[in-house]
Amino acid sequence: MVYRRINITLPTETLQKIDSFAPKGDRSRFIHAAIQAYLAQVQTEKLRQQLKEGAICRAERDCQLAEDWFSLEEEAWQQNAN
């Protein structure tokens, strides 16, 4: 992995919290891990929202399909029960 140096500005309180968790000289690794975790969380939330929106869009169609197939499944079940 290629690394690039950047300059960022953080509130003093945030920097103090980072320093309380990250070993001395290891801020970059700590910040990298925190950003990766945050990005994974955001990506998961985005996917969850997309799935929810898709389910809402297809809900009426899916209910209709379930209703259409229910009578066929019930008939097949009754035939196999005999």
Tens digits of residue pLDDT in 13-67:
999 999 999 988 899 999 999 999 999 999 999 999 999 999 999 999 999 999 8
Kindly report whether the global pTM for this prediction surpasses the value 0.85. Answer: no
Dihedral, CA atoms, 73, 77, 79, 82, nearest 10 degrees? -170
| DSSP SS3 for 7 | coil
Supply the pLDDT for residue 26. 93
Cβ(42)–Cβ(34) below 8 Å = no
- Which amino acid is present at 82? N
22 CB-near residues (< 8 Å, 6+ apart): 29, 30, 31
Give the type of residue at 65: L
Helix (H, G, I), strand (E, B) or coil at 23: coil
Q: In whole angstroms, what is the distance from residue 40 CA to residue 53 CA?
A: 20
pLDDT of residue 75: 80
